[in-house]
A and B are shown apart, each in its own frame.
Chain A
Amino acid sequence: MMSQRVGIEISLAVAEVAKLADVDVVAAYPITPQTHIVERLAELVANGELSAEYIPVESEHSAMSACLGSSAVGARTFTATAGQGLELMHEVVDVAPSLRLPIVMAVANRALSGPLSVWCDHSDAMGVRDCGWVQMFAENGQAAFDLSLCAFRIAEDPSVLLPTMVHLDGFSLSHVIEPISMLEKDELEGFIPPYEHPFPLRPDKPVTMGAFAPPVIYTETRKAQEVALRSSKKVILQAWKEFGHRFGRYYSPVEGYKSKEATTLLLTMGSFGETATVAIDRMRDNGESVGLINLRLWRPFPFDEIRQAVRNADIVIVFDRCLSSGGPGGPVCSEIRSALYGEKKQPQVVSFIGGLGGRDVTPDDFVNVIRRGIEIAEKGSDEEYEMIGVRE
């Protein structure tokens, strides 16, 4: 292997992926905690290391709009944002999958205002949950690098052609220096084939993109888009499999840690999966039958893999970093409950919310969450969910 394991800030490693993928256009607006990704890309373009057009737009709405245009002419396009930036971009975020434009976007997850917070939670990601993008969550720096690389291949696959978001927790991933096995360009040979849109905007063969759809055709357009997103899972699995064969690191939609025979499972998404393994180890040493499930693929949602992963468990404790206000509690937990509803053997599913606005959750906290989750499963609770670490 030529690849080197180097200590690098994860944001810089993500920028390096865009360079490795030889992107043609980056249109982005800097926002904490995504800033280092786009600053680095601006630097790479300015110093000639990356031959691309860097468009320093005046807002995230413009960033995604510029990305639509560049992807539509057949240019490989990358952007990154976070929190309020993703919110401001929202209107255009929906348009990209409807036009089937394979933009790749890194999101350094950030809590939403108000009150204003620059720190991590998953509220920004949940705001764009239903926008039609392929979406995945990284749990560490290596995954952020690898998943971002695979994202270009997945998004641009001729049978997919859908924009793809790679979520990485703000600060706890974006600003952390980790040892990451970087890949060299020549190692990648053929892993990301050239991007070709079947109907690019070209003067010699004009097409109309983004026409309006009256009621007589709108439903059909949504069905077509939905089928494409659901079918993308085959390509995602194939891309991750080939990545594993070639580079030795394997990824799957649902990751298990000491989970196979465990009667109680904790389920996390994002970087808390790393912290939670410490709690699992401790409880295992204590003879307790606990394990961890980490959800990597968020859209298309991996229903079968989730059902498979929890089939031996009696209790599943879902830890969300986002609150569905006035609703059932955690958005991830809602999906897990939906996936398991109607199954012959159903574990009890308990919802916890924590880590909001950058609040730290320690291994001790996860031990407490698991203990309290077991208690709720056994004795019941009047509440839809429980919020941890909140001062009464």
Chain B
Amino acid sequence: MDKSEDSLTWKDLEIGCVVTEPGSASEYKTGDWRSQRPAWDTSKCVKCGMCYIFCPEGCIHQDSEGYFEADLYYCKGCGICARECWTGAITILEEEE
């Protein structure tokens, strides 16, 4: 759609509010929900990928050196990665305003 979500009128909506563009859910910034975020200590990380496997949002990926990081556009700060990290490499930090 050409208009941004907050300028759409009821007449702009497709019938039944059908979304005609596949994959548009990726535009939804679930990172807005976050009050905490994960931080990796690369000295403890063994690149096992447990955080990547357990992330319910699928927002954790490897960087060029093979360490893991979260895409903060989507990361909701749920803390599951820190809970599952068996080497204790992930700490959860408070998001500050």
Q: Determine the distance from Cα of A217 to Cα of B15 in the docked complex, in whole angstroms.
A: 14
Binding-face segment, B1-9, B44-52, B83-91? B1-9
Report the minimal beta-carbon distance from A211 to chain B, rounded to whole angstroms: 5
Whether, in the assembled complex, A216 has its beta carbon less than 8 Å from a beta carbon of chain B, the answer is yes
Is the CB–CB distance between B15 and A199 below 8 Å? yes
The answer to whether residues A207 and B17 also contact, given A220-B10, A224-B11 and a CB cut-off of 8 A, is no
Tell me whether B80 is interfacial, beta carbon within 8 Å. no
Q: Give Cα A227–Cα B12 distance, bound, in whole angstroms.
A: 13
Q: Which residue on chain A has the smallest CB distance to residue B17?
A: A221
Given the known A-B contacts A220-B10, A224-B10, are A211 and B19 also in contact in the complex, defined by CB atoms under 8 Å? Answer: yes
A98 to B14 alpha-carbon distance, docked (Å): 11
The residue that A216 contacts in the complex, of B5, B11, B16, with Cβ under 8 A, is B5
Does B13 reach chain A (CB closer than 8 Å)? yes
A134 within 8 A of B: no
In the complex, A100 Cα to B14 Cα: how many Å?
10
Minimum C-beta distance from B31 to chain A (A) = 14
Asked whether A207 lies within 8 Å of B8 as measured between CB atoms, the reply is no
Docked-complex contact B17 and A101, CB < 8 angstroms:
no
CB neighbours (8 Å) of B14 from chain A are 199
Which chain B residue has the least Cβ–Cβ distance from A200? B18
Measured between beta carbons, the chain B residues less than 8 angstroms from A216 are: 5-6
A223 and B6 alpha carbons, distance in the complex (Å)? 15
Q: A206-B22, A208-B22, A208-B24 are in contact. Are A199 and B8 (CB under 8 A)?
A: no
A213 to B14, CA, bound (A): 13
Chain B nearest CB, measured from A372 CB (Å): 46
We find that the number of chain A residues with CB closer than 8 angstroms to chain B is 21
Residues of A within 8 A of B20 (CB): 199, 207
Contacts of B16 in A (CB 8 A): 98-101, 161, 199, 209
Bound-state Cα–Cα, A211 to B13, Å: 13
CA of A51 to CA of B82, assembled, Å: 56
B19 touches A208 (CB 8 A): yes
A199 to B18, CA, bound (A): 7
Cα-based distance from A214 to B8 in the complex (angstroms): 13
Which positions 91-143 of chain A face chain B at CB distance < 8 Å? Answer: 98-101
The answer to whether residues A223 and B17 also contact, given A208-B22, A208-B24, A217-B5 and a CB cut-off of 8 A, is no
Residue of A nearest to B6 (CB): A216
Complex CA distance for A214 and B32, rounded to whole angstroms: 13
Say yes or no: A100 contacts B19, CB within 8 Å. no
Task: Return the CB mask of B49-77 against A: 1 if under 8 Å, else 0.
Answer: 00000000000000000000000000000
In the complex, whether A198 has a CB less than 8 A from a CB of chain B is yes
User: When each residue 30-70 of chain A gets 1 if its CB lies under 8 Å from chain B and 0 otherwise, what string results?
Assistant: 00000000000000000000000000000000000000000
> Beyond A208-B24, A224-B13, is A217–B18 a contact (Cβ under 8 Å)?
no
A-B pairs, top 8 by smallest CB distance, nearest first, are A100-B16, A208-B19, A223-B10, A220-B10, A199-B18, A224-B10, A99-B16, A206-B22
Can you name 13 extra interface pairs (CB under 8 A) apart from A209-B19, A220-B10, A224-B11? Answer: A99-B17, A199-B15, A199-B18, A208-B18, A209-B18, A216-B5, A216-B6, A217-B13, A220-B12, A223-B10, A224-B10, A224-B17, A227-B10
Could you pull out 28 A-B pairs where Cβ atoms are within 8 angstroms?
A: A98-B17, A99-B16, A100-B15, A100-B16, A207-B18, A207-B19, A208-B25, A209-B18, A209-B19, A211-B17, A211-B19, A211-B25, A213-B17, A214-B5, A216-B5, A216-B6, A217-B13, A217-B17, A220-B8, A220-B9, A220-B10, A220-B12, A221-B10, A221-B13, A224-B11, A224-B13, A224-B17, A227-B10
